[in-house]
Structure 1
């Protein structure tokens, strides 16, 4: 089969420029980007393709600029060092005999997309060589994406799904939802890859997501609804054209003969010695391999990186003095420095992302900015030097690590606490965490990882993990990374952590309220969360298996019934087949349409016609059962830790801007409890023999915080009297005695109570209650007439947010409102809604965090009798000896209610059972 290789020249030129150090030739001309591109081209040519093209963006505007004038508007001009390398790159490409394509009015992506589709249609094996994720939309039979810099390969829909969480045909919609900061395409705020993939898994297409936007809750749902008007344009901008009119088709892109003399002169000028040897017939060196850094064995320090075009690992850049500790004398010297210091930064390197199963590969330490060491413990790469025994190193460091008076500094140090504990070292004195310092200072900033923080606060580009381990199929475990490369990477982690702490700590010190949040809430919580994660929760795998089997039987029954109703077999998971059946064959009314006007088969559409035919109801039942099985009953047993027999979730402190904890692997906070099938999943979370589960849950905490913040007399009075707050609200709104409130009136009052604190308007309330918008507006007006303090609080808060650009919790946590002054009315309205809700959600988060710290302190004297095993929203779950349950029920709720002093009482509801469902 004829092979066609399409090179995304623009992508590789910039990628090589930013990935490689600032190399230069003997004359001082920059060569870094040129070196990377040439090596990539030589790699492709080694595979002897018959057809090839090097595609670049043409100068001038494209059709996307006409669609969206701000498209790529924020991009800075090409750096002079890069611009100087474009002309020689074109000379080398031409001398290699590779056709060069530049088509005005479109981008290189569109040219590549058109050629890829044409080539595959003509029976060619098309390889698209790019580092651009947008190109994944081109993957199909006959079209493969390769990234020669990372070694990754996308050759099927399954490969795309594994990498991005969506199919190739969904990539356009995936990009439209996320937006693209590089191209200045604004997506849905806070919608990252996981959220976009989740929505598309549920609703299949962008049109499906748009049609179901009202069903997506929380802040992200608000963001989605605000972004709806621009999403169709986003889709147009992210769609690669495959119908560009070209002067040359795939068959006309045959490789020409190389101009050997021209290449010899160019390679010699730019110092590409390996390429020059290859040109002169040295087949053994046909591809320039990255050279290793100078060995650290016996010297302790890594030599400076070369500044000429010597091939080196991409991404490795000069830093401080980084020592590799390989001898007892070197270790003793560093221990002496640690003893003399008031504080030091520490980081661990392991062989797993799961801290409860990870094995220690090395430890890095830093006492002074610009100096750090790495102690390799388990590197087994070829030629690896002899390393100090792990137990010897840990025994030597243990007195320092377990000394509570010796302050340690880390970045996401909870992971390191777990790893060291797994190796018998109880880290004490963990005093500062740069991730949490950043989070408290800038909760509205999406990323608090070390690489991002180093760039933002230090102007420093760190060595990336993938630069030393590789990517994709070529990725190696960290234990197989050479000790030299590992030293540069790992020691830098400790060094940058220390440097960041110096900067972020000073910023916190200048903000007393934020410093209090950091010192009294976030930092004390780190070891508490580590203990909760380590405790884990016991699950009954057999119960889950039975539930999976039952769900499967019910899914099969639903499939069979659907087939009977349809009169033929069809794919229940195919919206296209379902739409044809419901609306073309059965002639059911299409009451819900996609934005494009086509009949929708989403949940809302099926609910709308479920009373007209049994089939839509069966499809809804099938979908609900399938989601429960795939997400929970099948998956949870696979996540049991083989060493403990328990499920151990990971809690994230620096996730939600409000301070709310989130969890993952597994996410135990999203187990559904509104349906009987969902609640049954909690029955699989059990207590071991002789123990019970106890759940302690704050009652209506956000409404109580609203009463505290608004100081509305009627609302405060209702909570002080211990009234059913929703019934009390209904009595106020509808002007009748509390005993005469109907169930529907209470339901309406509940929707108003919770809806208003989340910024719900008349439209949303009307949809939720199934009433007219005018009637819903009347309900809201009545509410504010009876609770004027709530209205006044909302108005004050909006004004304060506009004035300061942020709001605060009761405890001083600051919540920045990025769009409070936006010219976009939808964005501005969303920020104002956030200004109302964030202080309540943030205060609730602060309260339960304070409670966890207090409860953990009390549990310190009862570790053998009770464990805190879960935190879910406003609830804490404990595993308790049966005879200790009364004492825990006496002490824990009291500690939780004393975590804050509000103008209304905090109330904690408690339950006990053999499983979580019984206790909840």
Structure 2
């Protein structure tokens, strides 16, 4: 059967804009709505319909404005961020070859309605792609509604009844009774979908409801009688016209040939990378899983955008010339090139994502943009040409790598440093890393992997891992990739790295503060983190097994208690079953909703109702136990490296916009320390016989940074005198002497001290302390009256952020805050909170990074006696010989305290133990 797809373009543009997070391209242009619409279009195009149309509203008034002058009168004007995306959206649709329909005097709904019925009458299978509920009136045999954003589908009377409680033929009457606030169609007051559906079920039609109005009791009956005069007009306004005069019918809506050149320009400009890959014949969904190991960075918690970027030098986007090195003479020639070069880029190809276990398959080099080679060393497929000996080749290259005067650069080079170290090659002079250049220039961007950078900054579509190694069940190891393909892929890695560096280095040089962050903090930290990762930490597997068994027993007890409370068995891990039990059977209030408006069963939702019934608390306890077991006690034993007998986490410098380090496999930053069970996990991190663990932790570092930045006299005095800051705050706020402060008053002061830094409102503080909102507001007012410098700092920072569009750490790290100047009220509020918090979190991150670099240098002569093994938040953990612990205790806190010069002292707390918990 011939298919016709009618896309409600106006609906999708608005829905994508409001449903997706605010996104922007490299030039700061908003792209969130474009991203959603293009994904929807791609989904439809993959189904290859014979006929397709993108229907949007034409400018000017429609017949509904003549019927009702106040039609849509209350609708807010289109946001500037959305208006900016309309023209590019139309250009994208046009370039995709999709017919665009705009008909004056009517709405897009009427055009779609007319074409839908015409198509169905002609025997076509019609799909209306929309998120607008009004179209449910058109559902009938041959006409289906789909919403690609939510995945919902309505294709029958039963489906419409399940959604709205009435038949498709009754939808118009339902809408007339309910009204539509967006279009300013005023329905019956307090008449929602359930009431309207009930009336129509009882009385059949709107006319039947009007006739029965005198007998409908209660306030809602009075409201109905008060609305009778406008209901017929409402019906006219919400009825989709199906007889619009159109120049062509459904059969005229065939797809045209797409304009690939125009699409490539548009996809590149607006950062639509997946669509760009598909355009170029690759439908992969992410970075290559092996050689791209670790080359992406997770997104930040707020959206940032740097100043628009200038177009790159066309030479940086031109194809390169790559050589496969198979002969000794070629190798010697390349060694001479590398010796003569001021700097060279390199990249390793391996057989594993795990840097601590990866075997080297080959290595690539680049000396100038477009000039690169690949040296295969361990390809092993049948018929592979003879390759150079790996050990001899690495021995020939080792002096170059070991020479600190020869600058090397890479993309996420820490991985490559590990691989080379495993094969006996130490690297000195690692001078530049394009991932870190990108991160320092624009820390809020969600991706700093090489492929994304190349597309965004060079307009260059890289060869993907799947292009040469396949994917899914057909994926092969890189050692099995044909040498020609391997060279095209691997040499390009080194080449594109060099190109990105040549583009980004001048940008950093133009920003001295950012260049200092890059040169003095981020780059020196790379080999330090590599050493920490290689050191690893010993874990007590038997202790972890004991903890797993205990957690399992308590999970079972929680399940049994939950069954008792519910009066029946149910799956504690099923959100659907929990919703039915908590909100339908137990009638607990659904205080937190999902983005789709459904009752949520997440942690916040359960905490909100935990005081109203025991079951939510039992479920929360069960989840906490399950998370600890699944994430740590069961997993950590599996992560022990058989070669070293230790667990080796991976640290990510580009993991958070503030500069905070992130870790993975395992994620050590998320081990909960507020619960006894969480703290117990640390008992399993142990020192080997004859050694101890030393933990050194900055005390209240972000509050000290707040005192430094705000220069508030009260905070400065409290920290300088060495008193308990929370007790001092409580004494100030509650007007007491220090020794008179109660436990609850100190707790309230602590919540205020930390809460204000993180943008906590009076509502949040009230919930945190279980007090009234008014009382919480009084606490905050008292705080600011005693610490006016903090209030002034916050206001000054917000104003400066609005003016400049960014905030900075003490070290000069910059965090762009796009929505501090524009966007919705919620976006601006979030940006203002980030403006206050980011300088403190970022400064704390910079301080501990500086400390790690200086401590690593001091430890170098004592490598056999002590090693740095962990970094978690504001804490560093060391493993040392028992007779060297006192030396560490004397020197490490001193170096940590000296990592920054603040107006208040940096205090470091230290502890020693046989395991991490004892030391902490």
Asked if TM exceeds 0.5, the reply is yes
Quote the residue 1:59 is aligned against: 54
Quote the residue 1:918 is aligned against: 918
The correspondence of residues 517-596 of structure 1 with structure 2, limited to 5 A, is 517-581=517-581, 587=586, 589-590=588-589, 592=591, 594=593
CA drift at 1:697: 0.1
CA distance 1:535–1:395, shift in 2 (3 Å): same
- 1:721 matched to 2:721? The reply is yes
Kindly indicate whether the alpha-carbon contact (under 8 Å) linking 2:53 and 2:99 is maintained by their aligned counterparts in 1: no
Quote the residue 2:129 is aligned against: 106
Kindly indicate whether the alpha-carbon contact (under 8 Å) linking 2:409 and 2:433 is maintained by their aligned counterparts in 1: yes
Q: CA RMSD in A?
A: 3.8
Quote the residue 1:363 is aligned against: 363
Matched residues in 2 for 1:56 and 1:648: separation? 55
CA distance 1:576–1:80, shift in 2 (3 Å): closer
CA distance 1:134–1:383, shift in 2 (3 Å): farther
Quote the residue 2:380 is aligned against: 380
Kindly indicate whether the alpha-carbon contact (under 8 Å) linking 1:60 and 1:105 is maintained by their aligned counterparts in 2: no
Q: What do residues 427-480 of structure 1 show as CA deviations (whole Å, max 9, x unaligned)?
A: 111011111111111112222111222223222221122222222222222222
TM-score, normalisation: structure 1:
0.68
Quote the residue 1:204 is aligned against: none
TM-score, normalisation: structure 2:
0.68
Matched residues in 1 for 2:478 and 2:590: separation? 55
CA distance 1:424–1:707, shift in 2 (3 Å): same
Quote the residue 1:667 is aligned against: 667
Quote the residue 1:239 is aligned against: none
CA distance 1:886–1:780, shift in 2 (3 Å): same
Kindly indicate whether the alpha-carbon contact (under 8 Å) linking 2:52 and 2:98 is maintained by their aligned counterparts in 1: no
The secondary structure found in structure 2 opposite 1:425 is coil
CA drift at 1:608: 5.8
CA distance 1:583–1:901, shift in 2 (3 Å): closer
CA drift at 1:758: 1.1
Quote the residue 1:506 is aligned against: 506
CA drift at 1:80: 8.7
Quote the residue 1:760 is aligned against: 760
Q: What do residues 872-910 of structure 1 show as CA deviations (whole Å, max 9, x unaligned)?
A: 000000011111100100000000000011100000000
CA drift at 1:568: 3.4
CA distance 1:543–1:826, shift in 2 (3 Å): same
Quote the residue 2:19 is aligned against: none
CA distance 1:656–1:612, shift in 2 (3 Å): closer
The secondary structure found in structure 2 opposite 1:409 is strand
Quote the residue 1:836 is aligned against: 836
Deviation larger for 372-381 or 359-368: 372-381
Kindly indicate whether the alpha-carbon contact (under 8 Å) linking 1:54 and 1:101 is maintained by their aligned counterparts in 2: no
Matched residues in 1 for 2:548 and 2:141: separation? 46
The secondary structure found in structure 1 opposite 2:819 is coil
CA drift at 1:481: 1.6
- 1:801 matched to 2:836? The reply is no
Matched residues in 1 for 2:341 and 2:592: separation? 67
Quote the residue 1:745 is aligned against: 745
Quote the residue 2:480 is aligned against: 480
Kindly indicate whether the alpha-carbon contact (under 8 Å) linking 1:636 and 1:666 is maintained by their aligned counterparts in 2: yes
Quote the residue 1:706 is aligned against: 706
Quote the residue 1:47 is aligned against: none
The secondary structure found in structure 2 opposite 1:399 is helix
Quote the residue 1:418 is aligned against: 418
CA distance 1:577–1:824, shift in 2 (3 Å): closer
Q: What do residues 148-179 of structure 1 show as CA deviations (whole Å, max 9, x unaligned)?
A: xxxxxxxxxxxxxxxxxxxxxxxxxxxxxxxx
CA distance 1:766–1:107, shift in 2 (3 Å): closer
Segments of 5+ residues of structure 2 without an aligned counterpart are 8-44, 59-71, 101-121, 134-139, 154-241, 243-256, 258-280, 282-316
CA drift at 1:81: 8.1
Kindly indicate whether the alpha-carbon contact (under 8 Å) linking 1:813 and 1:842 is maintained by their aligned counterparts in 2: yes
- 1:689 matched to 2:689? The reply is yes
The secondary structure found in structure 2 opposite 1:533 is helix
Matched residues in 2 for 1:735 and 1:356: separation? 57
CA drift at 1:614: 4.6
CA distance 1:452–1:105, shift in 2 (3 Å): same
The secondary structure found in structure 2 opposite 1:657 is coil
Quote the residue 1:878 is aligned against: 878
CA drift at 1:592: 3.6
Quote the residue 2:36 is aligned against: none
CA distance 1:740–1:353, shift in 2 (3 Å): same
CA drift at 1:815: 1.3
Quote the residue 2:456 is aligned against: 456
Number of aligned residues: 680
Matched residues in 2 for 1:374 and 1:662: separation? 32
CA drift at 1:531: 0.3
Quote the residue 2:91 is aligned against: 77
Q: What do residues 669-703 of structure 1 show as CA deviations (whole Å, max 9, x unaligned)?
A: 10011111111111111111111111000000000
The secondary structure found in structure 1 opposite 2:669 is helix
Matched residues in 1 for 2:523 and 2:459: separation? 26
Quote the residue 1:431 is aligned against: 431
Matched residues in 1 for 2:382 and 2:150: separation? 36
Kindly indicate whether the alpha-carbon contact (under 8 Å) linking 2:129 and 2:148 is maintained by their aligned counterparts in 1: no
CA drift at 1:762: 1.2
